[in-house]
Structure 1
Amino acid sequence: IPNTVTVKTPFEIVYQKKPQLKNLKVFGALGYGHIPDEKRRKLDAKAFKCRFLGYEDGVKGYRVLNVETGQVKIVRTVKFMETTSTGDFMTE
């Protein structure tokens, strides 16, 4: 437990280093999930607009909400635009 005496988190005490926070994403961040080649035809879109919902246990991927269909999907390749405001969750 972090306190004023140790000024270290449990992770830092156990592993003797600071945790990597660069892979954490902002909840609700707008992004674009990649659609694999085998799931699209020649002139179909290569990505779909989505919102970040969280991380999936046991899988290397993100849980995202497809804003066009309302489906929750697990996607491995996503480009998030974390600098944009969240606005209305199902639009933008």
Structure 2
Amino acid sequence: MERVRCMILSVGLPKYFLGEAISTTCYLINQCTSSALNFKTPIEKWRGIPAEYKQLRVFGCLAYAHVKQGNLDPKAMRCIFVGYPNGQKGYKVWNLESSGPRCFVTRDITFDETKMGYNSKEKMPELRSVISIESQVEVEHWMNSEQDIGEHVTK
């Protein structure tokens, strides 16, 4: 449960994603080596082949599920990656947009693992940078206007 709590809190997801976090944690535990299994993964012990890690993604990251709609409609929906489905290939995602199903499985997806879907802390640096840029422009404009006034006064 410590891993589950860490996943939910670090991403900033609401508590109703608890089931998805538990399922994903179990999936990840089965992909990790264990000293009780002579440093093999449970998947490797069960199947006899080593585990693959290329399909692993950051829980709660922003994802864009590709959709086939009309020519003038958007080609992707903003989603949050919430886990791995049981018994099928693909990724389980939570739709952030109003249209379409809320939770679905897809393989045709692009991940942005640098941004978290629900984490409000991710939005704050962008806001601060915009404010600092605007204030810097105002200061430069103010300094330039003072120099112009100083030039007019000395003449």
Q: TM-score, normalised by structure 2?
A: 0.45
The within-5 A match list for 1:23-42 is: 23-36=55-68, 40-42=69-71
The amino acid across from 1:64 in the alignment is V
Tell me, in whole angstroms, the C-alpha distance in 2 between the residues paired with 1:85 and 1:56.
20
Is 1:71 the counterpart of 2:102? The answer is: yes
The amino acid across from 2:76 in the alignment is A
Tell me, in whole angstroms, the C-alpha distance in 2 between the residues paired with 1:10 and 1:60.
19
Return closer, same or farther for 1:11/1:76 CA change in 2, 3 Å cut-off.
closer
Percent identity over the alignment? 37
Q: Name the structure with the higher strand share.
A: 1
> Is the 2:60–2:116 Cα contact (8 Å) retained in structure 1?
no
Give the structure 2 partner of residue 81 of structure 1. Answer: 112
Q: Alignment partner for residue 53 of structure 1, among 78, 82, 85? A: 82
Ranked by relative contact order (alpha carbons within 8 Å, sequence separation 6 or more), the top structure is 1
Unmatched 5+ residue regions in structure 2?
Answer: 1-32, 124-155
The within-5 A match list for 1:10-29 is: 10-12=42-44, 15=48, 17=50, 19-29=51-61
Is 1:43 the counterpart of 2:43? The answer is: no
Q: Name the structure with the higher helix share.
A: 2
Over alpha carbons, which structure has the higher Rg?
2
Using the TM superposition, give the Cα deviation of residue 81 of structure 1 relative to its aligned residue in structure 2, in angstroms.
Answer: 0.8
1:17-49 superposed Cα distances (whole Å, 9 cap, x missing partner): 4x211211111110100002xxx1110011110
Using the TM superposition, give the Cα deviation of residue 12 of structure 1 relative to its aligned residue in structure 2, in angstroms.
Answer: 4.6
Q: TM-score, normalised by structure 1?
A: 0.70
Using the TM superposition, give the Cα deviation of residue 7 of structure 1 relative to its aligned residue in structure 2, in angstroms.
Answer: 3.5
